[in-house]
Structures are given as structure tokens and as C-alpha cells.
Amino acid sequence: MGELGSDLSESAESSALSGHARALGEKIAARTARVAVLGLGYVGLPLLLAFHRGGFPVLGFDVDAGKLDQLAAGRSYFKHIPDDQIAALQSSGRFEGSNREADLARADVLIICVPTPLTPEREPDLSYVTDTVRSVTAHLRPGQLIVLESTTYPGTTAEVVAPLLAESGLALDHDLFLAYSPEREDPGNTTFTTQNIPKVVGADSAIALDLANNLYSQVIPVTVPVSSAATAEAVKLTENIFRAVNIALVNELKVVYAAMGLDVWEVIEAAKTKPFGYMPFYPGPGLGGHCIPIDPFYLTWRARQDGIATRFIELAGEINTGMPTYAISQLRTALDTRFGTSLSQAKILLIGMAYKKNVDDTRESPALEIMSQLLQRGAEAHYHDPHVPRIPRTRKHPQLEGRQSAALTPALLRACDAVLICTDHDDVDYQMIAQEAPLVVDTRNCVPKGTNVVTA
């Protein structure tokens, strides 16, 4: 994409499109457009920081007053985002935090980064998206670009968001401009961040695509424009379904090879020496994070609307969803075989409550499911996680809220019947765990092999 409207300047439509669109395009090019990010979570806050570092005036909008208070004090509420970045944001004079919907009228760009979870029936829950769009509709004005970043099924932007925006009385592609750009955030990844991961951008009109692509090009070196919003929506689902299916495959192989007395980790390490035709994925106690456990079911639901069965994807979901129960079954068998101890009488220490290593993110963490199942079965369950001092409230496991991480000591390890490794954080003393714990059930291949270590 070149300068705004370059592809349209000689068309018959140019005069109709050159008003609000051209004015907004000039603001974007000059980096004077005020960019509002709605939802300051794991996706929204890094994106806000990226636009701020790019020189744009930014407005952070969130209904959580606690987040706004933290930002106002120059403090980060995410471990992987240091306080000095927030302090620089706060002191720049180009940042405003707000939970007042009327303030959004002063923004030139509105980027929506709100959750898209599943219902208990594993159907898309777009309530956060629709509620957010409805809340801003009354405050829209001509000359604004709206971009949805929340992961969703193909067609959401055109079939759900666009009709809600139309209720404002403003015309799309004349007064308002709508695009979709999937988030690709990976919390804790120090190599790939918001500012160096290529940005996919899609829209259903050339003018909206041009505006959105030029916007992101100001702060991200590589953008990837695609032909429609639905295509961009499908890109994100494809990326995460790829991971979900391959992780399901190695999780199933883990179960099969364990029954044969084979170590799946040794198999993978040898297989990945092949320089072509193979990509290593690793098993675990289940899937976590907001994307991979959820996104595939957005496509399966959408496919059902067209009468298409997604058997492969749904099978992968079943395998991954069943891994916490498999880990517990391995724990139960090991306790009974080695000590004659039933799970209902056992004291279990979980290592790791975050969904992946070296982060404080517990969203959809399989460790939460494992702890819930252990408690339901009568076990005494505790956890240690250097990144999660306290379990936050979650939609699926609200009863675990407030439980605190125990200090990892030799005395604690000896007092437990078993340790179950859920998350392989780097800053955990696995050597001590192997030496002091009577039994270690390891789902991450991070504890030195020994007579008291069982791979699960």
C-alpha cells in the first residue's frame, strides 16, 4: 500500500472518498491521529505501548479502574512489561487513561482488544465484542477508523461489527472505516514482540484497508495486507489450529509410547535432527492461554453453520482437553503402585500454575483444571509458582481464587506424597525437587531422571 488513496486517486469514486478518509490518512501519516486501545490486557497494553513509542498520542480505555490506577502510578500489572515502560508512557504527555465512553469521541482510531472466550457449550462468546461496539456507537463521529483485533471466526467483522456500527447512522467507507487485524501477541517472548511480528491487516474495502495498513505500518516494519476482513480472521485461526492439532498429535503419541515403555521426549529429540519434513512439538498436561485452547472451536462452530464437520480439529480438541485427566491418572497409578497411597489421601504439590513457562498468565491453564480435579477427588493440593504468587479469579475455576504459592523448600517437598510438574519455569530448583520429593510426576521433561521420577 502506498500513500492513502493512491490507488483510488484517479477513480470515479475518489471525490466521494477523499473527505473524511483523506483527512484521517493525513493524521495517520503525520502521527497526530489519536489512537484509542479498548481493552488493556495482554494484547491491548503492548499495542498501546507500540503506538506510543511510535509517536502517536494514545488513549487507553478499560472498564477495570484498577488497571487505570496502576498505569496512572507508572506501574505495570504484567510481569513481562517492566515498570519503566509504563513510567515513560505516563510522563510523556501523550497518554490518557479512561473508562468514560464519551472520551472515545476524541479518538481518531479505535482498536478493540477484548476477550473472545467460549460458552460452556464451546460456542463463541462475542459478548465482550458486541458490548464494546454498542458502548462506543453513541460516541462515534465521522472520520474514525475502527479495527477489531480480538480473535474470532471468519465473518465476525462484516456480519456482527459492521451492522452494529451502522446503528450510529454513519456510513461505512464514507464516515467510518472498519478493518480487522489479528493479534499475534506471545506473552513472555523476548525475541518476537508486538513491534517486530508481521501484522496481518484485512478489510472489505480498499479505502479501509489502505487506512488500516498505513496505520500499522507507522509502528510495525512489516504488514501483510489481505483481501478481506474474513481472510484476516481466518489467518489467526489457522495459525492457532496448526499448533493445537500438532500438540494434540504429540500428546497422543506420548500416551501411546508410554504404554510401549518408550520415552516420547527422546523420540522427539532424535526426530528433530532431520533437517526437513519435520517440526518438533512437545507434549504437556494440556493446553493453556487464551488462544490455542479456544480458537479452534470458533472455526468448528462457524463451519457447522455451513453444514461442514471439522472432525480433525474437534478430535485434536478432545485429546488436548483430556490431558489433565491423563496426568492425574498417571499420578494416581504411581502413588498406588509405589506406596499403596490413594489419591484421596495424598498431599500433592503442583509446580507451576501459569499456562506456560516464565510468565504470570494463568488463562485457561491446565494446572487450574488439574488442581480442581485433585481437590474434587479428595486430595490435599498446593502449588508453587514464582510467577503466580496468588491465583486470580477465573471464569472456569472461581473456587481457586486467592490460593497462594507455597515456598519451595526441602521440608515442603519431603512432606508431600508427590510433586506434579505442570509448568517448566526456568527459575525452579528441579534438582532439589528430584532429591527431596518422594515421587515426581513430570509432564514437561524438566526433572533429572531418577527412580522416583515418572514421566506423564
Q: Which residues are known catalytic residues?
A: 291
- Report the C-alpha gap between 345 and 342 in whole angstroms: 6
Q: Please report how the helices 366-376 and 323-339 are oriented relative to each other, as an axis angle in degrees rounded to 10.
A: 50
Nearest to residue 113, comparing CAs of 69, 76, 58, 70?
58
Residues 6+ apart with CB under 8 A from 53: 195, 219
Nearest to residue 141, comparing CAs of 48, 58, 20, 26?
20
- Grid cell, residue 421, equals 510438574
> What sign does the CA torsion over 197, 203, 205, 207 have?
negative
Considering all CA atoms of the chain, what is the largest pairwise distance in Å, rounded to the nearest integer?
82
> Which residue do the cell numbers 491487516 mark?
201
CB 316 within 8 A of CB 296: yes
Q: Which amino acid is at 294?
A: I
- Report the C-alpha gap between 377 and 420 in whole angstroms: 15
- Report the C-alpha gap between 188 and 191 in whole angstroms: 9
Residues 6+ apart with CB under 8 A from 216: 181, 199, 201, 223
Give the Å distances, CA to CA, from 46 to 158, 182, 325.
26, 14, 35
Q: Which amino acid is at 296?
A: P
| Phi, psi angles (nearest 5°) of residue 420 | -115, 115
